[in-house]
Structure 1
Amino acid sequence: MPCPFHLALAVDDLAAARAFYGALMGCPEGRSATHWVDFDFFGHQLVVHHTPEAARGPRAHNAVEGDAVPVPHFGVVLPLSQWHALAERLQQKGVDFVIAPHRRFAGTAGEQGTFFLQDPAGNALEFKGFADVEGQLFAQ
């Protein structure tokens, strides 16, 4: 695995963030304090900081193959089988997707599964799935 990233996000409700990242997404909780919580986000360090004054602010969107992709967003790239399992589990739990799971760039070197959702604080997440992550991730 490449070097894990570290990402810190503002959230307005730590309990809701714990329910989303921990219970729903299945991310183990690491260290925590009164105003922040670490999560193992698919091998990466995600820290949510309780920042009640943080406004959700306006979000931009960028058109990608007919989808209005929320910007900014973050996420992970998964092997396609793991992506399908996660998408199915979230669908069974009734998750409200910003962009529902589907295939993008069909028939190209960058063919991928993708879906978007938001955490309770409005942070947008994208999950991508590739049949061959190493061979397809940066293929042109």
Structure 2
Amino acid sequence: MADRPRFHLAFPVHSLEAAREFYGEWLGCPEGRSNSHWIDFDLHGHQIVAHLAESEGPEDHHNPVDGKSVPVPHFGLILEWADWEVLRDRLTGLGADFIIEPYVRFKDQPGEQATMFLRDPSGNALEFKAFRDEVMVFAKRFNDGSV
């Protein structure tokens, strides 16, 4: 077992082959078990499972964060800063169509973080981020002192 619990997420996809290309080739997630209806992927030690779905998922909602329209729901990873930069460069080089282009949010403030959002081929929104100061990941106060 890992040093800490592993996260598990199952999510709908319209095409297993498109999921295999996006998660396996674009994001570099090793593939685990699979059958004709689902594929397990290793997302930095966490198990995510792409399930073939016949119907559309729930409608997206958006919330404003730092002047950007953030899609809800979304999932992703908090990476080390250098690893985030490597992934940003890889996805940019592959021609990723970002929902929110890679940028640094809350620049020079507590909670400063690099972030980028994109969708997989089935429309699931993903966020990859990195905090300048990892202590801020679970900080209780925002930059303006509000809770």
Give the alignment's TM-score, normalised by structure 2.
0.89
Aligned counterpart, 1:119: 120
How big is the alpha-carbon RMSD for the aligned residues of Structure 1 and Structure 2? 1.2
Aligned counterpart, 1:138: 138
User: Which ranges in structure 2 are unaligned for 5 or more consecutive residues?
Assistant: 142-147
Q: Percent of aligned positions with the same letter in both sequences? A: 51
Q: Distance in 1 between matches of 2:74 and 2:109?
A: 23
Aligned counterpart, 2:15: 13
**Once the 2 structures are TM-superposed, how far is the Cα of residue 4 of structure 1 from its aligned partner?**
1.4
Q: Distance in 2 between matches of 1:19 and 1:56?
A: 20
**Once the 2 structures are TM-superposed, how far is the Cα of residue 130 of structure 1 from its aligned partner?**
1.7
Aligned counterpart, 1:129: 130
Q: Distance in 1 between matches of 2:94 and 2:118?
A: 13
**Once the 2 structures are TM-superposed, how far is the Cα of residue 108 of structure 1 from its aligned partner?**
2.1
Aligned counterpart, 1:28: 30
Q: Distance in 2 between matches of 1:55 and 1:86?
A: 28
**Once the 2 structures are TM-superposed, how far is the Cα of residue 114 of structure 1 from its aligned partner?**
0.3
Q: Distance in 2 between matches of 1:90 and 1:23?
A: 11
Q: Distance in 2 between matches of 1:47 and 1:64?
A: 28
Within-5 A mapping of 1:1-140? 2-52=4-54, 54-133=55-134, 135-139=135-139, 140=141
CA contact (8 A) 2:13 2:51 kept: yes
**Once the 2 structures are TM-superposed, how far is the Cα of residue 51 of structure 1 from its aligned partner?**
1.1
**Once the 2 structures are TM-superposed, how far is the Cα of residue 49 of structure 1 from its aligned partner?**
0.5
Give the alignment's TM-score, normalised by structure 1.
0.93
CA contact (8 A) 1:110 1:138 kept: no
Q: Tell me the amino acid that sits aligned with residue 29 of structure 2.
A: C
Q: Which runs of 4+ in 1 moved over 2 A?
A: none
**Once the 2 structures are TM-superposed, how far is the Cα of residue 105 of structure 1 from its aligned partner?**
1.2
Secondary structure at 1:62 match in 2: strand
Q: Tell me the amino acid that sits aligned with residue 13 of structure 1.
A: S
Q: Tell me the amino acid that sits aligned with residue 115 of structure 1.
A: M
